[in-house]
Structures are given as structure tokens and as C-alpha cells.
Structure 1
């Protein structure tokens, strides 16, 4: 009789012990005075493996320990064969902690919130979006045509759904079909936050990108590279590789540029935002490296807000006839990182210049106060 009871007890306890062995904990600490909302957070995959070496990448879930609900995640490769990071999207209050659990299980089907693609059917566009905003860069086929432009373009949205493919399929992205449109004019400027060498007090534009590569494509982060062939930048031969990431829930891209050029000293560069003829609201914060612009309302289409945040010292910021400009320097073959993006008042989230400038300041403070992560 005792033997039967022992077998019964083992049959009940051993599965629980096995479950406990495959459940690991991630602690995320927000020591800042900032609430984080819809924050895409990277957890080093090496740290996950060190605590959970037997993890099955096709059969695990991430659980919020408080709500007991699954958390959306992405395995980020960043162009490598091996996994680099586990990305999770979380909300976490100021001065608080969040505990996540990793365990075996079937992940729920979460809607993808980011997307990027090469668009050969539209003269080599490269377009990307998240659940807030969309952008595009211009490719080789558009060079020396009437519609050519140097900077980044903005496609405004008022839906959390992905819309790029539908807009290109309709071929009417300048008309608002209820989810937004493309009414942003770029022309021969840096548009919505592109960067270019600034040699002898002149912006030295490259040609359009000629090569592209997608490193990751959702559901929480899309990352890709655009390669710009060597050009003459005021007597300096320059080549550029631009790596752009857009996270779910963010109005701003992370842009990492790597310049190769034939001189030893640092090269001056500028980030620019095209300026409209009518009066808008401009904020130039050289100390924090933040440049913000709330455009004048554009007829019935509404108002677009633009912004950039430097992570290197801003030498100066100024407003020319055509653009808002922020100057910094780059070193040969050393990546420079900055952030650039946009919002639209008709999306209903950021509807005033103050709200937009507050968003940029909040984003900058988040960069300065990263979350602290530990895996056990």
C-alpha cells in the first residue's frame, strides 16, 4: 500500500519538478523617473542560454509574472545566423520592476507591428513602417528623374495596421483612404532626418542607395541596411552604409551610419529636416542634441511633427532657408548613431507642438536611462 502511494506521489511531483526546471526568470528594473510604454526591450540571447541551455526556440513562451499573460517577443538575428537578442514589448512604471518568465509552451499568434521591404515596382523605393508611422528612402531607379529626392520620406498613418503593401498596390498613396497618406514633400533636401557630409559649409549629398539588405523583419523590430556608393563630398571620397531600425510603438528610427572616407581627421556631417514656407514651430536644443519641428498645417491633410536626437555632441544647430540642420562629426569607419522620425496629429496621439517636443525629450531621457536586465 505504501509503495502504491509512493508511486502516486512521484507521478504527481516529478512533472512539477520538471516544469520548475524549465521555467526561468527575467527581471527588468526601471530605476528612472520615467514610465515606459510599449517599450521594445532587448535581452541578450547569450544570457538566456546560460540560464536555459535546453530552450527550444520554436516552443517557448514569455509570461508576465503579474498578469500571467503572454508577452509578445521576437528573436533578433541582426543579419547573423545565430540569435543575438530576445526582444520583448513591455510597459513598466517609473521606479519599478517587472518579472518575466520563460517556459516551454506554444506562443500565441501576435500581430506583426513592423515591416520593411524593397519596392522594385516603384522605382527601387525602400519602405518601412510600424504601428505608428511609415517611411521610405529612394533608390537607384529614381535618380535623375523628375521625382528624385535626397532625404527620407514620411508616410503618415492613423491605424495600427501595416499599410505599405496596400498603398503600393492601390498606387494611390497620395490620397487618404482612411488610414493616412503620403503628403510629405522631400525634394533636394535631407527630408525627414537624413544625414550627409558637410564640407566647406556645403551639404554634400550622395546619390540614392544602390544596395539593400534586410537584417530582421518584425514582429517587434525591423532592421535593414542601405548602401551608398562612393561619391565626391567636396574633395573627399565618401562611402556610406546606413543601418535603420524601427521598433513597434516608436515614432523614431534608430539610424546607425558608417562612413568610409579618405582622410584621418573627423568629418563634419549634418542631420536635416526640410523647412516649409509657412510658419511652423521650431525647437533647437544643442545641449541635449534634440531638434524638433512642428510643421504648419497642410491644407486638409493635417500637421506633421519631425524630430532628430543626436547621441554625439552637437557642434551647432541652425535654420537655413530650406532646412533645420544639426551639425556633428564622424570618424572614419566608426558608426555614428542618432534617432529620427515623425508623428501626425490626425493619428490622435500627438496633436500639439508641445506634446511632440515632450515626446522627443522623454525619448532622449529613456536613452540616457536604460532598463537594467538580469536573467536567472
Structure 2
């Protein structure tokens, strides 16, 4: 099992975080509506869990950031549910997603974070698809999962995506490993895409363009393999920031479609490749209150793009 986590680990504090200070003209933390049940343990930790009470959402978070992806059961309830990556803001160092989701109101602010990021049919914070004929061909929700480590130092798990078509001439499928250590905003993703053809693939890894409203600012640094998005300001809940990092040597192009900003990378079927997806909330952990600070952080992280010695199956 791959155990190396190349992301830098930051010093942790057990003290309660200070309230976010918003720049002039920016949103402030909304008032707390019905505080969450108290956390059983306020020690900073990474965590991953299956929300079988909510159509098998998979939740993972650390002391900085929080995410979820959607299970197969949700497809019948919320069509067209898809394989994009959701991102939540958080204002505490301990896990809160499960307690928030169990309230039935994950979109409200209950004192520890909130979900106002609308993945929709896009890629969200680092979902992918196959780029073919100027179109992104994407999977549905994950079909199987395996939790490899539920913290405390890292949330580590794998999911399988069932075969999906690329136009009429090809099928592909995917296993993806997600690893989020403490002290970072970046999840390491190791994707292995299988296919009924040995021909190389072009994979599009995306940032949703309309997840928190129209607009936002995109920074592209091809030399570092970085796309960094600073979302539009909403007076009720601030901004979300998303960044992708890929191996610059694999980049084919930077493109966009109606829903996503995309970095296109060349991939060999059956061979794992590595990329990173990061996110932050302008009112939450990390102290990113402006675009410059988020771009600098996303660009300066030392990341390891070496794939594991064997496929992640």
C-alpha cells in the first residue's frame, strides 16, 4: 500500500480558530442557525466515511478542507447526478461533515462550515472525463468504494466508476484513489483508467465554472501544471477557491466547455496517473481572503506526481 504523502504538513493548533476577517466589500460569516451537536472530539484529524443514510455520499475532510462525492443510489433520487467533486467550507480543525449532513441542512451555516458549492453536471473540484471530439465524456456516480485509512493522519480511500461510453466506438472505466493528509488543502488523486482499446486517451480534469454563481477569476500556470480559480463573491457566504495541479509534462491543452475549465492530459489506459485537487473557503480555514494569496499557495506547494509502483486496484 502506498503510504508516502508528499504534501507539506503544517503546524496544528488545538485552539479554536479566530473568526474570519473579511476584506472591505467581502462577505462576513453568516449568523449561526441552529448550532450542530457538539463534536465528540476536537482534536484535528483527517477522516473519511460513508454516509449510507444519504444515498452513499462519501465524505472526506481534514483540518483545512472538506469534500464529498456521490454514490450510485443518488442517481435515482437526483437525476442527473454525476461524478463531479463537491467542496465544503469549514471554520474548525476537527471533522464536522457527518454531523452537518445528518441535520438535513448542509447548505446552512451551523457554526462549523457549510456547503454552498453546486456541482450540478460539471466536474466541480477536480472531477474528470475523457476529452474526445471537442466534448467531455463523463461517468455516472461511483459504484464501489474501499476505505483504506480513516485518519487520524490521512483520509485514504478508493472508488470504482462503472464503464461509460466515449462516443460510439469506445468504453472506459476508472479506479481512483483519494488521499488527504492533515495540514494541506490538496487531495492527491491517483486515477487508473481502463479501456477496451489500447490507444492513448486525453483526460479532461475540471473546475466547475458555475458552482457558486457566474464569474470568478481563473489563473493558468502551465509551467507548474496549475489551474487556480477564485470564485465570485456572494454577500451571504463569501467565495470558494479551487485549484488543480497536474504533471506539466502530460499537458495537451487548456480548454473549457459550457460547464468547466479544463486541463487536458495524455493518459495511457491501465497506467495510473497522479493529479491534485485543492479547495478553500474565503471565510474558513487557511486564511485565504484574496485571490493573490490563494494563487500563491496553490503554485508553491511541492507535490509528488510519481504514480504508485502498481495500479491501485
Bucket of the pairwise TM-score, normalised by the shorter protein: 0.7 to 0.9
CA distance in 2, matches of 1:88, 1:340: 12
How many positions carry a matched residue from both structures? 271
CA distance in 2, matches of 1:359, 1:121: 36
Q: Report if aligned partners of 2:217, 2:230 keep a CA contact under 8 Å in 1.
A: yes
CA distance in 1, matches of 2:7, 2:85: 28
CA distance in 1, matches of 2:205, 2:89: 21
Give the superposition deviation at 1:313: 2.1
Give the superposition deviation at 1:200: 1.6
Q: Report if aligned partners of 2:122, 2:260 keep a CA contact under 8 Å in 1.
A: yes
Report the 3-state secondary structure (helix = DSSP H, G, I; strand = E; otherwise coil) of the residue aligned with 2:295. Answer: helix
CA distance in 2, matches of 1:279, 1:110: 36
Give the superposition deviation at 1:85: 6.3
What is residue 207 of structure 2 aligned with on the other side?
273
1:214-363, aligned counterparts within 5 Å?
214-234=147-167, 235-276=169-210, 278-311=214-247, 312-347=249-284, 349-363=287-301
Q: Report if aligned partners of 2:49, 2:59 keep a CA contact under 8 Å in 1.
A: yes
Which structure features the higher share of strand residues? Answer: 1
Could you list the runs of 5+ residues in structure 1 that have no partner in the other structure?
A: 1-76, 79-83, 93-108, 371-376
Give the superposition deviation at 1:162: 0.7
CA distance in 2, matches of 1:115, 1:212: 15
CA distance in 1, matches of 2:103, 2:305: 43
**Does structure 1 residue 131 correspond to structure 2 residue 68?**
no
Give the superposition deviation at 1:164: 1.6
Give the superposition deviation at 1:189: 0.8
Q: Report if aligned partners of 2:82, 2:140 keep a CA contact under 8 Å in 1.
A: no
User: Once structures 1 and 2 are overlaid, which stretch shifts more, 202-211 or 147-156?
Assistant: 147-156
Select the structure with the greater relative contact order (CA < 8 A; seq sep ≥ 6). Answer: 2
Q: Report if aligned partners of 1:112, 1:218 keep a CA contact under 8 Å in 2.
A: no
What is residue 118 of structure 1 aligned with on the other side?
50
Which structure features the higher share of helix residues? Answer: 1
User: Once structures 1 and 2 are overlaid, which stretch shifts more, 165-174 or 117-126?
Assistant: 165-174
Give the superposition deviation at 1:266: 1.0
Could you list the runs of 5+ residues in structure 2 that have no partner in the other structure?
A: 12-40, 307-313
Give the superposition deviation at 1:286: 2.1
Report the 3-state secondary structure (helix = DSSP H, G, I; strand = E; otherwise coil) of the residue aligned with 1:360. Answer: helix
TM (normalized to structure 2)? 0.80
TM (normalized to structure 1)? 0.67
Q: Report if aligned partners of 1:225, 1:244 keep a CA contact under 8 Å in 2.
A: yes
Q: Deviations over 1:287-324 (max 9, x none)?
A: 22100100001231110000100025211112333211
User: Once structures 1 and 2 are overlaid, which stretch shifts more, 230-239 or 202-211?
Assistant: 230-239
Give the superposition deviation at 1:110: 10
Give the superposition deviation at 1:87: 10
**Does structure 1 residue 167 correspond to structure 2 residue 104?**
no
Q: Deviations over 1:95-148 (max 9, x none)?
A: xxxxxxxxxxxxxx9935100011111011111110111100011011143352
CA distance in 2, matches of 1:274, 1:369: 23
Q: Report if aligned partners of 1:287, 1:314 keep a CA contact under 8 Å in 2.
A: no
Give the superposition deviation at 1:358: 0.3
Q: Report if aligned partners of 2:189, 2:276 keep a CA contact under 8 Å in 1.
A: yes
**Does structure 1 residue 184 correspond to structure 2 residue 127?**
no
Give the superposition deviation at 1:151: 0.4
Q: Report if aligned partners of 1:114, 1:247 keep a CA contact under 8 Å in 2.
A: yes
Q: Report if aligned partners of 2:9, 2:184 keep a CA contact under 8 Å in 1.
A: no
What is residue 14 of structure 1 aligned with on the other side?
none
